[in-house]
Structure 1
Amino acid sequence: MAVYQKLLVAIDLTEEAPLVLDKAMAIAKVHAAEVALVHVVEPVGYAYGGDIPMDLTELQDQLDKAAREQLQAYGEKHGITSDNQIVVVGRPESEIHRLSEELNTDLIVVGSHGRKGFQLLLGSTANGVLHGAKCDVLAVRIDT
């Protein structure tokens, strides 16, 4: 059985985030592992195709601030230190892979909606994380 020393828990700050975090914290407790909590804010330009001729800096800053506040609340609730509460801007899969390597984690925990058919072919964050990770990945199934 693998012994995990450091977990990277990637949450999307939706109502399902506590399910993913609770599962990760249970694993961390069993292994006496350190937990790093991350949320990746996608650049606002991605959502609009990057073709909007306006400055979106203020909107991006507001999204970043809101994410930090939510992550801090989860971190405080679960005893995760502030230096292990990470908000970054970028593509979720890429940033999760980068952070996992940077922090030397041995387990990444993400939520998965268990999509099928065309939705599966289109991909998901969990699928993207799984296929590029250099450590174990636990996809916590979220029934929708």
Structure 2
Amino acid sequence: MSQYKKVLVAIDLSDESNQVAQRAQGIADNSDCELHIIHVIEPLSFAYGVDIPMDFSGLQDEIQNQATEQLKRFSEQNSIDQDHQHIVLGRPEVEIHAMAEEISADLIVVGSHGRYGLALLMGSTANGVLHGASCDVLAVRVGN
């Protein structure tokens, strides 16, 4: 196996995120490399469409603030430096690819629920990250 220099772990801040982070931490420790963490917040307009005449900015700000605090606590528990914590707004697979490029990651670690059939066709972040990544991707099976 090649020697990784920068590992980017993508988490959704669910209970299963610990499994994903622990796998990434193990790889980082064995390879003596930098570990970065990213959490992507999907804009509410993606979920509810842009045709709804509502102002989501206050709610979106609250979601961002809560996610920032959760990521900070999660990172402290997993010994991830503050300058290696990234929280961004957008589509997860797009933002994970962009961050991997920005930090020159040579491995992305994501969680995967092992969906298949229609659930996979409807979209899986792990699948989206795998297709289009310019570096290795490790999908950690979670939720089993």
Q: What is the TM-score normalised by the length of structure 1? A: 0.96
Match of 1:74 in 2: 74
1:32 maps to 32
Structure 2 residues not aligned, in runs of 5+: none
Aligned residues: 144
Deviation at 1:39?
A: 0.2
1:12 corresponds to: 12
Q: Distance in 1 between matches of 2:56 and 2:121?
A: 31
Match of 1:127 in 2: 127
- 1:15 CA displacement: 1.1
2: CA distance between counterparts of 1:77 and 1:125?
24
* Structure 2 CA distance for aligned equivalents of residues 63 and 101 of structure 1: 26
The offset of 1:49, in angstroms, is 1.2
Identity of aligned residues (%): 55
Map 1:1-144 onto structure 2 (within 5 A). 1-144=1-144
CA RMSD of superposed structures (Å): 0.9
Q: Distance in 1 between matches of 2:117 and 2:66?
A: 34
Cα distance in 1 between the residues matched to 2:62 and 2:36: 23
Structure 1 stretches of at least 4 aligned residues deviating more than 2 Å after TM superposition: none
CA distance in 2, matches of 1:7, 1:89: 20
How far apart are the structure 2 equivalents of 1:131 and 1:17?
21
Q: 3-state DSSP class of the match of 1:105?
A: coil
Following TM superposition, by how much is the alpha carbon of 1:123 offset from its aligned partner in structure 2, in angstroms? 2.5
Cα offset, 1:47, TM superposition: 1.0
Which amino acid in structure 1 is aligned with residue 5 of structure 2? Q
TM-score (normalizing by structure 2): 0.96
Cα displacement (A) at 1:41: 0.1
2:40–2:90 CA contact under 8 A, matched in 1: yes
1:58 is paired with a residue whose SS is: helix
